[in-house]
Amino acid sequence: MTEANIPLQVPRSGPSGRPPGRRPRGIPAASAALALAALAVGFLTHAGHGNALAQGLDRSRVYRVAVDESYPPFSFMDKSGRLTGFDAEISRALCAEMRVQCDVRGYPFADILPGVASGAIDVGGAGFAMTDERVGMVDFTDKYFRSTSIFIQYGSALTGSSPEAMAGKRIAVQKDTIQETYLRENYPRIASLSTFEDFEGVVGALRSGICDAAMVDGLPGFTFVKSDGGEGFDIAGDPLPLETVARMIVSKDLPALREEMNAAIQRIRANGVYDEINRKYFSFNVY
């Protein structure tokens, strides 16, 4: 989970076609108040913690927060159709801690960075790595988790992860990630590199035999291999020396929000909310 390239044209309005914090024309004030209350309950709160903070909610501040639309265990739809996962819950917990309202929605990963850079999205909560190129486009929060990268395969034929072990192999990777950049810079002898829009595409390429291995972020990679859906898949070799210090990205139009988020990250770590979410999705501390 990393950053995406900026397309040539990105609309400056958000998913709803309007800037943050404004009520669409033609909606009565009472209806708008009810809608904001629904946002507070449906998008902001995290268990009892969010409910306890709701009374001090600043209803004049509504932020659009984007997470990857499907990237278990970071973001996925639960059985009731609600967007959940580590990123979604951490995002809601931070908003609750800051006492602001957040509309947390799933987007294609490649659309999140362009959306934040253009101002169409306020916050991208999808584990972005900070690079010199991206610093000029968006603001970055402090770290909120860390990860490394691995190769996965369908079967167990591959026993190494080095450039020599992958020479002549067909490799899959998610498009516009630091994994793709790392492969292009460090694995010159692979037979082919196929990029896919999402994790499901990468997994499908392995299952169908189109590719021999895939380089993925370690946390979702390990989670997938251990899941029922990962039956028949395995890790290839050792983890790679590509560690990701994952951060959220914030529109440069909202510098104060970044500082508020940094403080909120530390508060949810201190008050136990971060650990509570961590334990739901991982058996070890990802911070």
**Residues in a beta bridge with 249:** 124, 140
47 and 154 belong to one structural domain:
no
Which residue range(s) make up the domain with 66?
29-146+245-281
The confidence band for 8, taking pLDDT boundaries of 50, 70 and 90, is very low
Cβ contact 162:238 at 8 Å: no
108 and 162 belong to one structural domain:
no
In a domain, 168, yes or no: yes
In a domain, 225, yes or no: yes
Number of domains in the chain: 2
Quote the mean pLDDT of the chain.
Answer: 84
58 and 140 belong to one structural domain:
yes
Average the pLDDT over 77-84 and give the result: 96
Q: What distance lies between CA 155 and its chain's CA centroid?
A: 28
- 135-186: pLDDT as tens digits: 999 999 999 999 999 999 999 999 999 999 999 999 999 998 889 999 999 9
99 and 217 belong to one structural domain:
no
Domain CATH for 164: 3.40.190.10
212 and 250 belong to one structural domain:
no
84 and 191 belong to one structural domain:
no
**Is the pLDDT higher at 28 or at 129?**
129
- Beta-carbon contacts of 266 under 8 Å, excluding residues fewer than 6 positions away, are 142
139 and 166 belong to one structural domain:
no
The confidence band for 23, taking pLDDT boundaries of 50, 70 and 90, is very low
Cβ contact 131:153 at 8 Å: no
169 and 101 belong to one structural domain:
no
Question: β-strands 76-77, 83-84: how paired?
Answer: antiparallel
The confidence band for 55, taking pLDDT boundaries of 50, 70 and 90, is low
186 and 276 belong to one structural domain:
no
In a domain, 218, yes or no: yes
Q: What is d(CA 132, CA 115) in angstroms, rounded to the nearest whole number?
A: 19
In a domain, 54, yes or no: yes
- 235-253: pLDDT as tens digits: 999 999 998 899 999 999 9
In a domain, 128, yes or no: yes
107 and 132 belong to one structural domain:
yes
175 and 113 belong to one structural domain:
no
Cβ contact 125:95 at 8 Å: no
pTM of the complete model: 0.76
256 and 121 belong to one structural domain:
yes
